[in-house]
């Protein structure tokens, strides 16, 4: 997952794979094709028309489908198609499109001339202030700026993005297409999922990025991708451009070992339990099912991937490979007196940091879980209370999350929360978390919760359960935060005014606040330690490797390249790069319109989207490109810069590449543009969109 500016240096490798284009084009973020690649703030996407039409994955638009769904009109199941611009649905508050327009090296501004005698906390504060200052100077007009670190803090870059705030849902196929195979096929190959959907970006009539308004008009991007009706074929070179989230390939072995042996198994256990609790609720009430749908899907997705990572790191031997690599690094350092002087103290100090965090890891994780549950009333209260405390400070002294540049986002999140907040779900998940709190050993007790609920070390599970049930009954009955207007009004209140309202959830948040602040303070001190050690650790890794190295993914724009390729035969299995499958049993419930279109195709109906070698319309294909979470919706490009697919998943047996890249076995899964276009034409009748994306392209957009 290379930074775009690294691609020109890889020109010879690309040429060996058959690339005849200009590798330098990838470094030009305002040109074609990179100027068409955008972020949705969690997923990737790209412009595909002159009128701001955006293509991404179906699973990336679930929150928009949920926001606009009711029990009578469940868009998450039925799908949606706007036949006209007027029919396009606002995604709701908080939806964004980010167009990267510049990347600038600011390493000297962030890390230069830092006093080496600074304490780790003082170092963190100094870096944070420099980041705030640069961010404030960068953000002009509609720009959103981020200062991101690369190579463990060795390099820092300022990323400037146009922030488009009015985003609307245009088209999403039915779940039987967009989520075909459901959790059974998730992270699996063979795969047959039409994981594609469309948004449109809107701006003011003057071309300014503004909040939603009926008077807004489609955004006019400088560049948009040509969508290829011919797709790509086995052996072809392909590129993926998008915004991968996080990898940990440069992390030290102790960090990865703790993740594999503690963090990931914990995720498996807790996600499994929470899925069971939420699925039971979903079966009991349709409205609750809609409210918790995206949370459930996220838990399932994380669970399956985490299991794959554990298997790959342990059974696949990648953890042992990581250990061997670090031992070779230590030997390389020890073999030279200068290297030992420069780097000899780094790994022991990093290992000590991991050990320090492990001492209270379960206690801290549970406290964070109770206070900040995603989509919960406690999470809302945490935001509201912290906001009141931070707002009393000068803006440059506030936590970055609560600076004035984020106030509109905070308000939008509390507004949007109304479509997913559910008191029944909160009750069962809080009970689950508090039951784990009750089991903490005496040395790790959360005294405030013990006092509030009536818990004690060694209490029987039955007695703890009774105390928790009684407490939750009073806690949830005494809050008004399930009402949107109340939550939004709370954002305008001081800390004293919030406490005076006597809301039970706010009061609990307040008494837990000193503990959560202590955890955040300790995290800042540890970050200051990594600012001191990380750059030297990365420097040693880079010096030892002696070649081009891509930095860990960190949510910034990246380019990966590879070949359209299956997996060689092993253990009696051969993964072909293209497959097909239909059924009428959930989760393989193919819509009747698809079956009818397939029948017509089999009967000889002509289509321009046929693969001549397969004599069929391909659905998905495999490639060797390097991707991870956040890459969902990324444009898959051929050597001409044409869109031939959308990246949407990895394979279960290679997801451990997040921690140790396997260049031989790693595969990523893409939806083929031919299936996307065929579905639009023959299944859903999206002729208005077909005309828009396959129609006229400006000559200037020629790659």
pLDDT at 316: 83
- pLDDT band at residue 583 under the 50/70/90 scheme: low
Q: How far apart are CA 659 and CA 467, in angstroms?
A: 42
Cα separation values, 105 from 108, 162, 469, Å? 8, 19, 54
Distance of CA 223 to the CA centre of its chain: 25
Residue 47 has pLDDT above 50, yes or no: yes
* Predicted local confidence at residue 585, as pLDDT: 67
What is the band of 701 on the pLDDT scale with cuts at 50, 70, 90? very low
pLDDT at 568 over 60: yes
Token pair recorded at residue 660: 């140790």
Q: Which residues, including other chains, have CB under 8 Å from residue 472's CB and lie 6 or more apart?
A: 427, 430, 431, 434
- Residue 423 structure tokens: 């008191």
Query: Quick one: average pLDDT of 190-209?
Result: 95
How deeply is 397 buried, as exposed, middle or buried, from its count of CB atoms within 10 A (0-12, 13-18, 19+)?
A: exposed
Q: Cα–Cα distance between 224 and 288 in angstroms, integer?
A: 39
Is the pLDDT assigned to residue 598 strictly greater than 50?
yes
Mean pLDDT across 424-449: 96
Tokens of residue 123, six digits? 């170092």
The pLDDT value recorded for residue 696 is 41
- Is residue 559 within 8 Å of residue 239, measured between CB atoms? yes
Largest CA distance in the chain: 78
Retrieve residue 109's tokens: 């501004």
Residue percentage of the chain with pLDDT more than 70: 96
Mean pLDDT of 137-157: 94
Query: What's the rounded mean pLDDT across residues 266-295?
Result: 95
pLDDT at 232: 93
pTM for this entry: 0.93
Nearest-5° Cα angle at 267, 263 to 270: 130
| 3-state DSSP of 624-654 | CCCCCCCCCCCEEECCCCCEEEEEEEECHHH
**Whether the Cβ atoms of residue 450 and residue 456 lie closer than 8 Å to each other:** yes
SS3 of 437-499: the string is HHCCCHHHCCHHHHHHHCCCCCCCHHHHHHHHHHHHHHHHHCCCCCCHHHHHHHCCCCHHHHH
pLDDT reading at 438 higher than 50: yes
- Residue 502 has a pLDDT of 96
Report the chain's mean pLDDT, rounded to a whole number.
Answer: 93
Confidence of residue 579 (pLDDT cuts 50, 70, 90): low
Residues 38 and 45: their CA atoms lie apart, in Å, by 5
By the 8 A CB rule, do 564 and 236 touch?
yes
- The predicted pLDDT at position 664 comes to 83
Tens-digit pLDDT profile for residues 319-357: 999 999 999 999 999 999 999 999 999 999 999 999 999
For 291, the enclosing helix (H) or strand (E) is helix 286-314
Q: Are 375 and 420 in contact (CB under 8 A)?
A: yes
Q: Measured between alpha carbons, how far is 620 from 550 in angstroms, rounded to an integer? A: 27
The per-residue pLDDT for 546 is: 85
SS3 597: helix
Q: What is the 3-state secondary structure (H, E, C) of 230-290?
A: CCCCCCCEEEEEECCCECCCCCCHHHHHHHHHHHHHHHHHHHHHHHHHHHHHHHHCHHHHH
Ordered by start, the domain boundaries in the chain are 4-96+165-248+551-698, 251-335, 350-550
Mean local confidence (pLDDT), 440-457: 96
What residues act catalytically?
59, 195, 632
Inform me whether the pLDDT recorded for 699 exceeds 80: no
Question: Backbone phi, then psi, for 635, in 5-degree steps?
Answer: -70, 130
Check pLDDT > 50 for residue 703. no
What is the mean pLDDT of the segment spanning 539-565? 93
Instruction: Tell me the mean pLDDT in the region 354-373.
Output: 93
- Summarised one tens digit per residue, pLDDT across range 109-129 is 999 999 999 999 999 999 999
């Amino acid at each position: 997952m290379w930074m775009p500016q690294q691609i020109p240096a890889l020109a010879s490798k690309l040429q060996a794979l058959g690339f005849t284009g200009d590798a330098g084009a990838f470094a030009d973020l305002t040109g074609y094709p990179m100027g068409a690649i955008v972020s949705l703030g969690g997923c990737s996407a790209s412009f595909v028309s002159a009128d701001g039409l955006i293509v991404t994955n179906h699973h990336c638009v679930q929150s928009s489908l949920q926001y606009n769904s009711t029990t009578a009109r469940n868009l998450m199941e039925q799908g949606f198609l706007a036949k006209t611009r007027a029919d396009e649905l606002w995604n709701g508050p908080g939806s964004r499109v980010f167009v990267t327009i510049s990347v600038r090296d600011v390493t000297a501004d962030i890390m230069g001339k830092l006093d080496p005698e600074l304490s780790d906390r003082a170092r963190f504060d100094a870096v944070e202030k420099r980041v705030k200052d640069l961010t404030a100077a960068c953000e002009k007009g509609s720009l959103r700026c981020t200062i991101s670190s690369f190579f463990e803090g060795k390099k820092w870059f300022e990323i400037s993005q146009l922030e488009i705030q009015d985003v609307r849902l245009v088209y999403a196929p039915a779940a039987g297409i967009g989520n075909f195979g459901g959790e059974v096929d998730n992270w699996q190959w063979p795969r047959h999922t039409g994981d594609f959907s469309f948004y449109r970006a809107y701006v003011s009539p003057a071309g300014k990025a503004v909040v939603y308004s009926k008077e807004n008009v489609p955004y006019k991007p400088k560049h948009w991708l040509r969508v290829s009706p011919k797709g790509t074929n086995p052996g072809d070179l392909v590129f993926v451009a998008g915004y991968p989230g996080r990898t940990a390939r440069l992390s030290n072995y102790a960090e990865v070992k703790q993740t594999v042996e503690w963090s990931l198994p914990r995720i498996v256990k807790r996600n499994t339990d929470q899925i069971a609790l939420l699925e039971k609720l979903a079966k009991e009430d349709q409205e609750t099912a809609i409210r918790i749908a995206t949370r459930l899907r996220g838990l399932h997705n994380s669970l399956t991937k985490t299991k794959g990572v554990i298997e790959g790191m342990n059974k696949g031997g990648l953890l042992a490979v990581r250990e061997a690599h670090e031992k070779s690094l230590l030997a390389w350092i020890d073999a030279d007196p200068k290297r030992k002087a420069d780097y000899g103290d780094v790994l022991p100090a990093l290992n000590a940091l991991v050990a320090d965090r492990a001492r209270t890891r379960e206690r801290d994780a549970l406290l964070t879980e109770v206070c900040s549950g995603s989509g919960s009333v406690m999470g809302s209260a945490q935001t509201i209370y912290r906001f009141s405390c931070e707002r009393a400070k000068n803006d440059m002294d506030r936590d970055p999350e609560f600076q004035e540049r984020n106030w509109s986002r905070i308000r939008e999140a509390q507004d949007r929360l109304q479509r997913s907040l559910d008191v029944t779900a909160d009750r069962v998940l809080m009970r689950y978390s508090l039951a784990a709190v009750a089991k903490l050993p005496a040395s790790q007790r959360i005294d405030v919760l013990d006092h509030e609920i009536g818990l004690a070390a060694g209490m029987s599970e039955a007695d703890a359960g009774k105390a928790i049930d009684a407490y939750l009954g009073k806690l949830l009955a005494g809050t008004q935060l399930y009402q949107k207007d109340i939550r939004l009004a709370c954002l305008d209140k001081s800390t004293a005014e919030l406490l005076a309202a006597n809301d039970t959830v706010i009061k609990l948040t307040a008494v837990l606040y000193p503990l959560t602040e202590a955890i955040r303070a300790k995290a800042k001190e540890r970050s200051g330690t990594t600012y001191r050690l990380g750059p030297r650790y990365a420097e040693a890794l880079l010096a030892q490797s002696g070649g081009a190295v891509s930095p860990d993914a960190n949510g910034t724009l990246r380019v990966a390249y590879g070949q359209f390729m299956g997996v060689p035969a092993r253990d009696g299995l051969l993964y072909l790069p293209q497959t097909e499958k239909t059924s009428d049993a959930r989760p393989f419930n193919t819509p009747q319109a698809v079956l009818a279109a397939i029948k017509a195709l089999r009967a000889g109906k002509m289509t321009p989207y046929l693969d001549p070698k397969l004599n069929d319309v391909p659905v998905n294909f495999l490639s060797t490109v390097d991707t991870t979470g956040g890459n969902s919706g990324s444009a898959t490009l051929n050597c001409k810069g044409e869109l031939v697919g959308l990246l949407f998943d990895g394979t279960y047996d290679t997801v451990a590449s997040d921690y140790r890249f396997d260049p031989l076995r790693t595969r990523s899964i893409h939806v083929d543009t031919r299936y996307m276009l065929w579905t639009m034409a023959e299944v859903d009748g999206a002729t208005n969109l077909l005309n828009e994306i396959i129609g006229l392209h400006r000559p200037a957009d020629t790659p």
